[in-house]
Amino acid sequence: MGEREENFIEWLNNVLFTAQIYDYRYPVKGMGIWMPYGYKLRQNVINIMRKLLDKTGHEEVLFPLLIPRTMLEREATHIKGFMGEVFWVTRGGKSRLDMELALRPTSETSMTTAFRDWIQSWKDLPLKVYQVVSVFRYETKSTRPLIRVREISTFKEAFTAHATSEDAWRQFREAISIYKRFFNALGIPYIISSRLPWDRFAGADETVTFDTIMPDGRALQIGSVHYLGQRFSKAFDAKFMTEKGKYEHIYQLSYGISERVIASIIAVHSDELGPILPPNVAPIQVVIVPIPYKEVEEAVYKYARRIYDELKRRRLRVHLDDDPEETPGSKFYKWERRGVPLRVEVGPRDLENGGATLVRRDTRERLFVKLEQLAEEIRRTMRVMLREMKERAWREFKARLKPAKSLEEIGEVVKNRMIAIVPWCGSEECAHEIEDLTGYKILGKPLRKPRKSRDKCPVCGRSSITILYVGRSY
Ligand code: 5CA
Ligand code: ZN
């Protein structure tokens, strides 16, 4: 067991800084800085999401950060859930504000306000928008870099409005499918579960979440989809005219992800040295390291530069590290720790043979490739690598899901850094008992239809109709 499993948050914090992704030393609790390399990674990840959303008819918007108190408090369940987490702006210069302004903790209230003004008739529906913004939550649980921040600076939140509940539920399934494609593209394994009623988003009738598992065995919620129904539209009086000329309240959803996705990429694709960035989002896909020898130094550098130009021309994200002051060995180490998926070594032998040596960050496999085939071979290797990284991540993930038949077994499974799969009779009391007696958290139940099985609920002994995922979580 290494640092990654034993002391994951420490490890993550160090790796984020060493790889020059994220600097978590900013002197406000729960707020960190995206460094240039990390910002590029973040941008590449967001762009995958943007493409998926744009392709499915979502449009990007940008709302004000501040929400007037009355607007935020308009839907009762919502504000009840968020009240303790809101940052307030109470002054402007020297004067007290008449109306206090909240730093948005989420945007259901401002979105519904705009929807009321934008939507007149059924012809305006469905409406699907999203934004990528900062939201602020005065988190009271311990803050962690990327994983639990107070300024969530990479919050992608989507909001949709529908004429019927059927259409809203169809959208619910579409949102889940978009997130599946998103996490699959990044090779992040997940379980999808329906949250139990007391664990839903404040103001939602149903919450489905995506959870992955960190190296220390704790679950991390990396995305959620909420069915809001007409709760907000009724509170805000957001109506539309139906085809028959009647007025009805719109049906709504919201769904979101955050920088937890970046933390997960690093956590699931890494070794003791640090991250192994998936080639499709890596800011640098290939680093070229010349290995100069006496006499042929100039020729090697020139050849490396030629390879750089060629790969650049072929639209690869490539970096040439030709600093003569640093040894190749030290460069290898440096770029490995920054997670660059591929390295091209160029030495006198490669020069002689008219090629270069390609090295994978994950398996360290080496391959000599002729110059004419280099760009093509890099692309092929990146595809293979992504597939194998994904398979490895899923294998490790599945090994951490383990059935547990009794409360004692739940304890053992979770202590061994795994998530327990527990048969459940369906009674909410039994679910509460499981949480109270084990001290662990129920992540949720699978989406599939309940079905009687031979397994027994560990609390009441009745037949189970579904299962619960139980573990530690962030
Ligand atoms: N309005 C809805 C949909 S965007 C919403 O706010 N849902 S949420 O509260 O579940 O947040 C969406 C996702 O943001 C969560 O699934 C989780 O992955 C992430 N998230 C929530 N709080 C934090 C936090 N403090 N730091 C980092 N990520 C967070
Ligand atoms: Zn039971």
Per residue in 198-244, pLDDT tens?
999 999 999 999 999 999 999 999 999 999 999 999 999 999 999 99
pLDDT surpasses 80 at 366: yes
Whole-angstrom distance, CA of residue 75 vs CA of residue 88? 18
- Residue ranges, comma separated, of all CATH 3.30.110.30 domains in the chain are 401-471
Strand-pair partners of 286: 318, 342
Tally of CB atoms within 10 A around 286: 27
- Residue ranges, comma separated, of all CATH 3.30.930.10 domains in the chain are 3-271
pLDDT for the residue 333: 97
Closest ligand to C-alpha of residue 458 is 2
Whole-angstrom distance, CA of residue 116 vs CA of residue 235? 11
Whole-angstrom distance, CA of residue 425 vs CA of residue 444? 14
Whole-angstrom distance, CA of residue 328 vs CA of residue 290? 7
H-type helices in 187-259, by residue range? Answer: 231-236
Fold of 401-471: Translation Initiation Factor IF3 (3.30.110)
| CATH among 3.30.479.30, 3.20.20.105, 3.40.50.800, 3.40.50.150 for 286-381 | 3.40.50.800
Is the shortest distance between the CB of 137 and ligand 1 below 6 Å? yes
Is the shortest distance between the CB of 188 and ligand 1 below 6 Å? no
Is the shortest distance between the CB of 201 and ligand 1 below 6 Å? yes
Is the shortest distance between the CB of 149 and ligand 1 below 6 Å? yes
pLDDT for the residue 294: 87
pLDDT surpasses 80 at 264: yes
Whole-angstrom distance, CA of residue 65 vs CA of residue 61? 12
Least Cα distance to 257 among 191, 206, 183, 196 occurs for: 183
pLDDT for the residue 2: 85
Quickly state the pLDDT bin for 369 (edges 50, 70, 90).
Answer: very high
Measured at the CA of 31, the angle between CA 281 and CA 77, to 5 degrees, comes to 95
- Residue ranges, comma separated, of all CATH 3.40.50.800 domains in the chain are 286-381
Which tokens is 458 given? 């560990």
Q: What does pLDDT average to over the chain?
A: 97
CATH homologous superfamily of 3-271: Bira Bifunctional Protein; Domain 2 (3.30.930.10)
Of the residues 78, 146, 224, which should be mutated to test ligand 1's pocket, given the most ligand atoms within 8 Å of the CB?
Answer: 224
Per residue in 311-338, pLDDT tens?
999 999 999 999 999 999 999 999 999 9
Q: Evaluate whether 414 touches 440 at the Cβ level (below 8 Å).
A: yes
Is the shortest distance between the CB of 258 and ligand 1 below 6 Å? yes
Task: Write out 1-64 in H/E/C secondary structure.
Answer: CCHHHHCHHHHHHHHHHHCCCEECCCCCCCCCEECHHHHHHHHHHHHHHHHHHHHCCCEECCCC
CA of 127 to the centre of ligand 2 (A): 41
Per residue in 442-461, pLDDT tens?
999 999 989 999 999 999 99
Is the shortest distance between the CB of 260 and ligand 1 below 6 Å? yes
Tally of CB atoms within 10 A around 32: 23
Is the shortest distance between the CB of 199 and ligand 1 below 6 Å? no
Least Cα distance to 239 among 324, 119, 416, 141 occurs for: 119
Q: Evaluate whether 100 touches 88 at the Cβ level (below 8 Å).
A: yes
| Inter-CA distances, 144 with 150, 151, 157, 267, 273, Å | 9, 11, 21, 14, 21
Q: Ligand 1, atom 6: nearest CA belongs to which residue?
A: 106
Sign of CA dihedral 32, 38, 44, 45: negative
CA of 452 to the centre of ligand 2 (A): 13
pTM recorded for the entire structure: 0.97
Sign of CA dihedral 2, 220, 56, 40: negative
